[in-house]
Chains A and B, each alone.
Chain A
């Protein structure tokens, strides 16, 4: 396989290409290794200079740093190498990135620690050991130079890709030392504290941008293997249903069709090209076994969830006697909130390429969890772990969806029966309907006030579809901790509070979705905070400050938001600001949004001002992009996001029925950092999202006088009061 052949060279040699002819040697879009700054998909050809599992330095001083987390847009292919390079005292211009090997981490017992990507953990969890990897390599290089020069290593130091000998002024570049350094061991290595950083904190440009503007970036859907065929799949329209029968003879003679493969809850058609496979699977007569799940509706679910709010629930947290306090309160306010299931809708539909040989399996996919994929494929294929090779690619969006192995296992099942490499692609419709969704939830809040409008007690009961239960985890306690994120640890000082929870699942599969529990809980809780402020006849921002007097970090963020958003400055009629604050994944975000209502009764978001305290920043440019990304994802969910079930079937199946924000609806976004420093390293991929929906809804209340308590906002016709 020639990997340095460019596409254009290839094309010049292949003027006439007929269907079904599979190009054996060509990897699309592969740029020459000498130019490539990032290289998911296949490792660089490195035979020497590996100083530790995380990095290798070639004789020409090129530094290859391995990234264990998935590049799904959040910038890990730049941010994580920066952490290693900081300690390595590398010349950043010589750094390139590639994926760490899941196969190796299994063979070498955790060489890459934890390879999963999720929970906004990439920086906040891996930073210490990535710093250590860089520092250890630096010390090895120093020692190698000292041994080469026959001097004491205390006289040597590392700077900008070279080791220098202070007394003599001599220097030697890393590339010339790497092989010797690889054989050296060091101990007692110290890592830097934030004051010592030179590279971290700089807005370095992303290494993966160039291949993403010329079409050369390889996503898994772009993988081409020798003799590869394609599979299109249709799943039972009611989740949990099974395949009863299908009539392959009806499509057998269609062009390119090779075989039909029965799956437990679906059917795959394999053909020479994807379009042939998809055309055939769309025409395939199929019958399903569907149980009582086929009689369910979103409206029924919603009624059942609402009814369950009246139950006691399991106590998550209790401080003081809320029952007595509420009974003796002058006034009680009570509100019920509701959120629907949501799809991830990554731009790249789920797909996976698999090659199954007798004693080896290769997987090419966009994976948030390559290690878990490897384990699952080993089990499915009955092949030893060390013979499973998973090749991660750039992910065309993840948002949690690609942390599930469902699609990879399905592709493996298909490939086992095909006998040649196969690329399975879920159509957009399958991607959306056979999804794994952000949980549906209902939440009830109560707050009691005395004669002076002082808060006496607060209770909250959530009824939520449990992801952990779907995963088969033990939830016999009655609590799924991921469902009460944000609710259980709400920061407000309240004299008496009681948080209860009920797990209630349907036949729909739930899954981690950007910001998980906070995505629904911050919406409901932060809207109810505004309701409490209204009852207390206070400005919502000032009311929060009153209840957060004990939390200087949150107060600082609120003060900054008040100033940066010009919170008190009047807006034209029909416009209003709303705000919310939420802490999740170790990061505090407060947002103020300016919203108006258009002539069609729809909300328009004009501006979002964010104040973020994530403690420290690796790369402010990438972090800002993530805050903007969370905001847009959040507006899509707040205004339009809804998965509807009818007769047990998901109704939304493409971007025409599952709308999302486009350019026209994009607000001006301003991000302000209020970094508290110290040892705090908060996540950044998810915290930009949770405040968006409540801030919008809180603003709309100020415009319409009407309190929206169920998402999406687009379900309502809004009127300026």
Chain B
């Protein structure tokens, strides 16, 4: 049995402890907002928060997150009302949308650690891949959240 805490809920799961957190979220908990992109921590589509830090869930065995609080895109807000989600809508970021859960989760921790990131700081933090090329709009959305003081 593996015990994990996801979006404020405690779960006891009968899974192989070496299973990556990503697949437990998707296949066992049906939290499909977190996406599989590469499986090797390259693309960031699987990004979730582990005690408030952005991590790539495809490369973390579920047994290693038992002590942490996990938050997925579904747990970020009740109704897409997180300032980053609102900015994503206002700046019309998504195209195909597949990578955007991971982009948003990464941006949220960037802004929590740095309320007003420079372009260079955005470059360093936002290493997620978007094949549709929405980067310019992601940058704008992050600046927008900063300008509004995170509201």
Contact = CB atoms under 8 A, between A and B. Distances in A.
A212 interface: yes
Interface string A314-349: 000000000000000000000000000000011111
B33 A662 contact: no
Nearest to B97: A212
Contacts of B26: 222, 274
Contacts of A205: 89, 92
Given A28-B32, A625-B95, A669-B136, A215 B43 contact: no
Interface string A445-480: 000000000000000000000000000000000000
Contact of A214 (B33, B45, B139): B33
Contact of B30 (A7, A75, A214, A654): A7
A688 B76 CA distance: 35
Contacts of A214: 33, 73-74, 76-77, 79-80, 85
A17 B138 contact: no
B11 interface: yes
B96 A395 contact: yes
B32 A222 contact: yes
A291 interface: no
- Taking each of B13, B39, B104, which has the highest tally of chain A beta carbons within 10 Å of its own beta carbon? B39
Contact of B34 (A73, A215, A628): A215
A242 B15 CA distance: 35
30 contacts: A19-B14, A28-B32, A29-B32, A73-B132, A205-B89, A206-B92, A212-B94, A213-B85, A214-B33, A214-B76, A215-B32, A215-B73, A217-B97, A219-B98, A273-B28, A275-B27, A345-B131, A346-B96, A347-B132, A348-B37, A348-B98, A396-B98, A397-B98, A399-B131, A428-B38, A629-B133, A655-B43, A660-B131, A662-B135, A663-B127
Give the interface residue-count category, chain A.
35 or more
Interface residues of B, number: 69
A303 interface: no
Given A215-B34, A629-B95, A17 B129 contact: no
B92 A662 contact: no
Given A213-B80, A654-B40, A19 B15 contact: yes
A349 B74 contact: no
7 smallest A-B Cβ distances: which pairs? A215-B33, A632-B133, A73-B96, A396-B98, A212-B97, A73-B95, A215-B73
Interface of B: 7, 9-16, 19-20, 23, 26-40, 42-43, 45, 72-74, 76-80, 85, 88-89, 92-101, 104, 122-124, 126-139
Interface stretch (A8-16, A119-127, A138-146, A710-718): A8-16
Contacts of A224: 30, 32
Contacts of B38: 428, 654-655
Interface string A386-408: 00000000111111000000000
A361 interface: no
Nearest to A16: B12
A72 B92 CA distance: 15
Main secondary structure of the interface of A (DSSP, over half): loop
Interface string A625-652: 1001111110000000000000000000
Contacts of A212: 94, 97, 100
A7 B16 contact: no
Given A632-B133, A633-B131, 7 more contacts: A73-B132, A215-B73, A275-B19, A347-B98, A397-B98, A632-B135, A654-B40
A425 B85 CA distance: 29
A11 B9 contact: yes
A507 B105 CA distance: 42
Contacts of A19: 13-16, 27-28
A208 B39 CA distance: 27
Contact of B136 (A210, A633, A666): A666
Interface string A211-228: 111111111011010000
Nearest to A663: B126
Contacts of B104: 213
A208 B30 CA distance: 21
A249 interface: no
B45 to A, nearest CB: 6
Given A275-B23, A663-B138, A347 B43 contact: yes
A29 B32 CA distance: 8
A625 B132 CA distance: 9
B95 A215 contact: no
B100 A213 contact: yes
Contacts of A274: 23, 26-27
A213 B88 contact: yes
B24 to A, nearest CB: 8
B33 A17 contact: no
A18 B13 contact: yes
Given A275-B19, A396-B98, A656-B40, A18 B14 contact: yes
Given A209-B89, A396-B35, A663-B138, A347 B96 contact: yes
A577 interface: no
B80 A425 contact: no
Contacts of A217: 97
B39 A397 contact: no
A662 B88 contact: no
Interface in A555-575: none
